[in-house]
Amino acid sequence: MTNYIEDFVYVTLVLYLLAAGCYFLGNKNKSIARTGLLIAIAGIATNLMALISRALLVSRLPITNGAEFILSFSGFTVIAYAFYELKSRNNNAGGVVLMIAAMLVGSIVTLMPEQLGDVKPLMPALKSPWLTSHVLTAIFSYGGFALAAGLAAIQLWRANSSKGEEWIYKIVAVSFVMLTVTIVLGAIWAEQAWGRYWSWDPKETWALVTWIIYAVYLHLYRQKSWKGQKSNMLVVGGFILVLFTYFGVNFLLSGLHSYGG
Amino acid sequence: MILIKKTQRFLRFMSSMKIGLSLLAVIGLLAAIGSGISTDKYYQALPFKVILGLLLLNMALCTTNQVTKFFKHGLKAEKSSQILLRQIGMMTLHAGVVFILIGGSVYSFQGESTQIKIDQGQTVDMKTIFNQTKPFMIKLDDFNIDFNADGSPSQYFSHISLVENGAVTGEKDISVNNPFEYAGIKAYQSSFGYGVELQGESNTGWKEKKTLQESEFLQIPGTDKAIRIYKYIPNFDPEYGMQSKTLRPDNPRIVYSLYQKGSLLDVGAVSFGEKVEIQPGTTVQFNGVKPFSVLTVKRDPGLSLAMAGMLMLMAGTCLTLFLKQKKTGVVQ
């Protein structure tokens, strides 16, 4: 199975793209949109297969190198979306969210394909019980923010609905909790590993910037003047910051988190 | 009276959510700009600290308001336990941010951090590093690296002894992610290196054993020549040139340079025990390496406050945002 990691990744990419296409086309045709959901679920299956293969290859949870993180990120985003669609019975954002997931998987094959076969052991700084909780909460928060951004983009693009707003608020709230836990656990870990809980390392700084934009959103959400499109813009902007915290920091700025790229 | 009124008005202004969010936005913006400028000084600059100070004032006032409101109106019977818990969560999280900011300021005013290099066998008196500490010493008994099968480092260990009043009162293995803590001082594994054990002799009766650090010179007595340790390569491989293939000492070499009256004469690489002829009758050989460890040592009286703040922030955020919300339950 470990020989097929790349194949699983490519199949996942194709399935997510197909699912996104179906959702875009299925705007007025329910059966095409339902096919989109089925293809998305198949994509989740191959995404998980890729992760399981990585886990078998390196004999640990696949949450350390860049490719593993993105695969977990994309997988959780689509899982969260599938739950949302089944619960809300609304598939308007399917195309956008699946497009985001496809772009994430696409970034692996274009930016870091070698990491899929990488079997290097963990470096000493990563050998910590904090690793699992810190990265898992990061995956949950990133995935949640991706879903919220997809929903907010649809609110901006088409008509704004208060039901949609409530969903976005709930998803952002839970993801914000996860991001807070990620940052705090990271700080506790950094204190143990490097002797400083906050060093203004680029990763920390941009995680804080992301945290701030969502904190602002959560405070302003109930304010009349900010209800509607302005707060949707904050949610989309917040996710752009999430992406920058991951890709921008890993590829443009160097720092203590450099092993993540 | 006017002054008191003005102060009151200022404090009311400073306690508003608008100011808090604006300060957060400014901090976010400045922090983002700073991440492109790779200097530590940026975040230590006065204007940045002033803004953090203002945020601290805002958050402290906002938390105080929340607590007073809670005790004034919060304990009414008609409120559901969920709303109550949510309000407690909100107070906890805002108080957490206050604690973190205070903890951070305590460090920037009272804390110190530095790096110390200790040779194997050497003892360092902590009193010479931090004035305000209880007198104790750290001795580096040994430094070693555990390796993975591929030769990459798995963990770095500094085996240290705690020495008080001349007697060993404790031992500890410091490794990455596993610092040493005693009397308010913490020591972290940060880096390491090696000194080279050199032995020289000549037929004129010169005999010397010495540990030289990388890039250190030794003037050879009775000659006009000097030898300099250029580099210790633990695992030499011609493909990697002057870089060590791995940190594991599978194929160690000492790269040295030889000087005559200050000008470079020769450069070479030898294994341990291999003789280097300085001139007929005079030789130098390298018998091995002696490790040193670099520890980050820190005194942070604000650490427990900041840590408590972080846990409060985390717990308070969970409580506030995981509970089902009603539109009326918001304090602010």
Say yes or no: A109 and A126 in one domain. no
Copy the structure tokens of residue B14: 């400073």
- Answer yes or no: is pLDDT of A261 > 60: no
Say whether pLDDT at B331 is over 60. Answer: no
What is the structure's pLDDT at B168? 95
Nearest CA in chain B to A222: B327
- Domain's final residue, options A78, A99, A119: A119
B265 alpha-carbon distance from chain centroid: 41
Over range A21-39, report the average pLDDT.
90
Q: Which domain holds residue A248?
A: 122-261
| Same domain flag for A24 and A112 | yes
Identify which of B235, B232, B233, B231 has the alpha carbon closest to the alpha carbon of residue B250: B235
Task: State the SS3 of B193-216.
Answer: EEEEEEEEEECCCCEEEEEEECCC
- Stronger pLDDT, B85 or A43, i.e. the higher one: A43
Q: Has residue A256 got a pLDDT over 70?
A: no
Examine the fold and report which residue of A81, A97, A119 is the final residue of a domain before the chain moves on. A119
- Looking at the structure, tell me whether residues A21 and A72 fall in a common domain: yes
B44 part of contact set with chain A, CB < 8 Å? no
B177–A124 CB contact, under 8 Å: yes
CA distance B170 to B139: 11
Where in chain B are the domains?
2-110+304-331, 113-193+294-299, 195-289
The shares of helix, strand and coil residues in chain A, as percent rounded to the nearest 5, are 80, 0, 20
For residues A89 and A112, state if they share a domain: yes
pLDDT, tens only, B1-16: 788 888 888 888 888 9
Beta-ladder partners of B269: B255
Q: What is the pLDDT of residue B122?
A: 95
DSSP state at residue B12: H
CATH number for the domain that contains residue A186: 1.20.120
Alpha-carbon distance of A103 to B84, in angstroms, equals 43
pLDDT at A99 over 50: yes
pLDDT at B74: 60
Domain boundary among A102, A119, A136: A119
Q: Are B316 and B93 in contact (CB under 8 A)?
A: yes
Mean predicted lDDT score pLDDT of chain B? 91
Question: A146 vs A3, which has greater pLDDT?
Answer: A146
- Asked if B177 lies within 8 A of A121 by C-beta distance, the reply is no
Distance from CA of B153 to the nearest CA of A (A): 7
Chain A environment of B185 (Cβ under 8 Å): none
Asked if the model's pLDDT at residue A258 lies above 60, the reply is no
pLDDT of residue B167: 93
Residues A26 and A104 in one domain: yes
Q: Are both A126 and A252 inside the same structural domain?
A: yes
Predicted pLDDT at B78? 60
Same domain, A158 and A85: no
Q: Minimal Cα–Cα distance from A49 to chain B, Å?
A: 27
Q: Are B306 and A197 inside 8 Å of each other by CB? A: yes
Question: Do A149 and A216 belong to one domain?
Answer: yes
Judgement on whether residues A214 and A191 belong to the same structural domain of the protein: yes
pLDDT at residue B160 greater than cutoff 70: yes
Q: SS3 of B259, please?
A: strand
Q: Band of the pLDDT at A254, cuts 50, 70, 90? A: low
The token duo for B192 is 């390491």
CB atoms under 10 Å from CB of B171, counted, come to 12
Residue A44 sits in the same domain as residue A160: no
pLDDT in tens, B84-95: 888 899 999 999
Put simply, whether A256 touches B (Cβ < 8 Å) is no
* Same domain assignment for residues A94 and A72: yes
Interface of A with B in 138-197 (CB under 8 A): 173-174, 176-177, 180-181, 184, 187-189, 191-197
pLDDT per residue as tens digits for the range B20-57:
999 999 999 999 999 888 667 889 899 999 999 999 99
Q: Name every residue whose Cβ is closer than 8 Å to that of residue B7 and which is 6 or more positions away in sequence.
A: none
**DSSP H or E run through B114:** strand B112-119
Pairing of strands B167-175, B153-164: antiparallel
**Does the CB of B307 have a partner CB in chain A at under 8 Å?**
yes
User: How many separate domains does chain A show?
Assistant: 2
A7 shares its domain with A99: yes
pTM (2 decimals)?
A: 0.91
